[in-house]
Structure 1
Amino acid sequence: MKRLYWLPRRFNPIFAAFLLIAFLSGIAGALLAPTLSLFLTTEVKVRPLWVGLFYTVNAIAGIAVSFLLAKRSDTRGDRRTLILVCCLMAVGNCLLFAFNRDYLTLITAGVLMSAIANTAMPQIFALAREYADSSAREVVMFSSVMRAQLSLAWVIGPPLAFTLALNYGFTWMFIIAAATFAICALLVWFTLPSVPRTQSAQQGDEPDGASSAPIAPAGDWRNPDVRRLFIASMLMWTCNTLYIIDMPLYITADLGLPESLAGLLMGTAAGLEIPAMLLAGYYVKRFGKRNMMLFAVAAGILFYAGLVVFKFKLALMVLQLFNAIFIGIIAGIGMLYFQDLMPGRPGAATTLFTNSISTGVILAGVLQGVLVENLGHYAVYWLATALAVMALWISARVREV
């Protein structure tokens, strides 16, 4: 029986801390994201167009802030300190949403704090990769298991979010999210390591007798494979965000199904993502990252096409299997794909991956609002299917690494 070499021979509290922080931050995020469109519609009382605009502005701010912080994190400073600051900003953002219902305040101060807070996750993964590399562990499986913690969090988070919001109100839901982020901040401060940057990591000089990955040049965007992967990833996450924004509103407004079903669907997909993610991490060396990504996008096409055709609860539940394969693989393998195409720059590569998500959110926010205002919810899933087909074609043109 093959041994999973990413695991330590004895219990390693630092690895356990990474997994716990990923899980708790995932729980907090899963309390916020699934209910945001419902919060803006029912509590802040804005039109669908303004809901989409909020997602767009939030994503634009996130891209700008994360690029600035990622560039600094790969060259100077303590990555752990940056993660701590991001967690504290997340606490402040949750408290703002808990006690404020003014759209202008939320889309300005709230978006700024959210942009800084959202940088925490790529930085946690970047620090985890640096620690795994310095400890000579298997990076792919460790990263897959960390990503699985986020999926596990999304099994619990969305149903819990809708339960709290619908039964106790959004204020208590945001307070609980703030407390969870505060616990993450304490864990970051007391348990995560500071991985020192070596001379080679800062200047690209290879030390005597050692073999290190070359530092990717500043013009990584000039690499056509990086560009193609970014565009393909952006389209994939546009599809996913269209679904996340629209589905809670679609199943109640058009299908007449209960609001709580939205949390159940998201939780089911997240639960199925865990085995999909772990299997992807195990088989990626056999089939390659490119083939795994193509398989994932094909599953995504089936999922969004299924949403066009099927409109009853059982079918929506069954379709979550394809959703889980799609998200489970692209979320784990996609990030590693960027890192392998940009050797020596884990922070920049991970942030480029997360910014492909943010760019997808920008597009999804605009498209969802415009489509629903003019054509209704049904058009959203036709568009998602078409975008997934485009993503498959572009992904097929990215080289294997």
Structure 2
Amino acid sequence: MTVSTTTARRLRLPDMTSSAFLIIAFLTGIAGALQTPTLSLFLTTEVKVSPFMVGLFFTGSAVMGIFVSQFLGGWSDKKGDRKTLILFCCLLGALGCVLFAFNRSYFILLLVGVLLTSFGSTANPQMFALAREHADKTGREAVMFSSILRAQVSLAWVVGPPLAFALALGFGFTFMYCAAAVAFILCGIMVRAFLPSMPKAMLTTAGPLEAPRNNRRDTLMLFIACSLMWAANSIYLINMPLYVVKELHLSSKLAGMLMGIAACLEIPTMLVAGYLARQLGKRLLMRFAVICGVLFYGSLMFFTGPATLIAIQLLNALFIGILAGIGMLYFQDLMPGQAGAATTLFTNSTRAGWILAGSLAGLVAQFASYYAVFYAALAMVVVSVFCIWRVREA
């Protein structure tokens, strides 16, 4: 009874460290939300490259990100101090933003800028791995704590995309990227001041951890499914601003509004999914998410008006909210005792999705249309349905 009371109190009254995790999750989300939604527009209007080169840039960024994060994820699980690593990544992420702010050379941005931003983006999965270890150590309910952190990232994406377009269109891309650099710097300060230092990231055995099992097949199928789901979402993020402006001839502010609305709806989705995960299981929630994805991308084939595009963001929010909130925890359950590697693998499914999305979005848009790109997104989600159905409950 004493343990239950203590645990409940910890869930109700967040300590300084847990509060810092929430703020850092928001700041890393803001840093990403200021850069990603406007990147295709930045490359098209400022760097002045073709749609194919835009896709190549996203692909190169994803490939570099996979190598960087996979190396850092394995290293941090074995002997690294995640706190120092997160701080290091935040500083390099800030440098990357400064480079994007003042440089307009495509190949310098591709070779140097992408490397720096790859380190910056690795701060987020490492923060979630450290948060999982902190939750296990302090007796917090890990699923709900992680869901709240994911909700903070979504909250950042409510504010970030509209703010990114407002800053870029109102003050220029230089100002916008400098704002992203400031977000990384503030994040680094918070990391240095408040996050716990755990040089050897070991999960406590007090929790309901199971002995390692041969889950390679399930992990592989989950990775393929998540990669395809993220690829569809990445195609949407890359293509949608250009589709709205150049083919539908609507306001560019609508693109930021669509992203912001979806992110806003993702917040309650993540929290509810985190609450239901224990009752319904992660597999059922992931199956529901991928069906929502099929309905969303199928709807994009028919709905082109502002009102209908806004309305179907509910399906998009259910699709991405559950994927973002439950997918990472699903990997961690399939890989007990390897929080860093599991979280990095989930993050790399995002980057694998960017590789597919960058290649297809650029090619299809170059030789067909921005509308045709959504057919590829729909096909990916349909294939992910098959993969999700092959994964067992962890």
Residue 52 of structure 1 corresponds to 55
Q: CA deviation at 1:8?
A: 3.8
Contact 2:98 2:177 in 1 (8 A): yes
Deviation digits for residues 66-89 of structure 1 (CA, Å, limit 9, x no counterpart): 111111000102110000000001
Picking from 143, 147, 157, the partner of 2:146 is 143
Pair 1:170-2:163 in alignment: no
Picking from 70, 73, 78, the partner of 2:73 is 70
Pair 1:127-2:130 in alignment: yes
Q: CA deviation at 1:286?
A: 1.2
Contact 1:162 1:263 in 2 (8 A): yes
Picking from 149, 159, 163, the partner of 2:162 is 159
Contact 2:79 2:199 in 1 (8 A): no
Deviation digits for residues 304-362 of structure 1 (CA, Å, limit 9, x no counterpart): 01111111100000010000000000001000000000000000000000001000000
Q: CA deviation at 1:5?
A: 4.0
1:322 counterpart letter in structure 2: L
Give the share of equivalent positions with the same residue, in percent.
Answer: 54
Q: CA deviation at 1:196?
A: 5.0
Contact 2:154 2:263 in 1 (8 A): yes
Q: Distance in 1 between matches of 2:297 and 2:9?
A: 35
Q: CA deviation at 1:263?
A: 0.4
Residue 308 of structure 1 corresponds to 301
CA spacing shift, 1:307–1:212, aligned 2, 3 Å: closer
What secondary structure sits across from 2:301 in the alignment? helix
Q: CA deviation at 1:28?
A: 1.4
1:83 counterpart letter in structure 2: I
What secondary structure sits across from 1:399 in the alignment? coil
2:247 counterpart letter in structure 1: D
Contact 1:214 1:344 in 2 (8 A): no
Residue 194 of structure 2 corresponds to 191
CA spacing shift, 1:126–1:6, aligned 2, 3 Å: farther
Contact 1:6 1:141 in 2 (8 A): no
Residue 279 of structure 1 corresponds to 272
Residue 340 of structure 1 corresponds to 333
Picking from 19, 29, 49, the partner of 2:22 is 19
Pair 1:270-2:273 in alignment: no
Q: CA deviation at 1:136?
A: 1.0
Per mean C-alpha deviation after superposition, the further-off stretch among 324-333 and 376-385 is 376-385
Contact 2:80 2:199 in 1 (8 A): no
5+ residue gaps, structure 1, are none
TM-score (norm 1): 0.94
Residue 363 of structure 1 corresponds to 356
Picking from 258, 273, 282, the partner of 2:251 is 258
5+ residue gaps, structure 2, are none
Q: Distance in 1 between matches of 2:220 and 2:171?
A: 45
Residue 89 of structure 1 corresponds to 92
What secondary structure sits across from 1:144 in the alignment? helix
Contact 2:290 2:319 in 1 (8 A): yes
Q: Distance in 2 between matches of 1:270 and 1:396?
A: 26
Contact 1:86 1:120 in 2 (8 A): yes
Contact 1:6 1:137 in 2 (8 A): no
Q: Distance in 1 between matches of 2:207 and 2:57?
A: 47
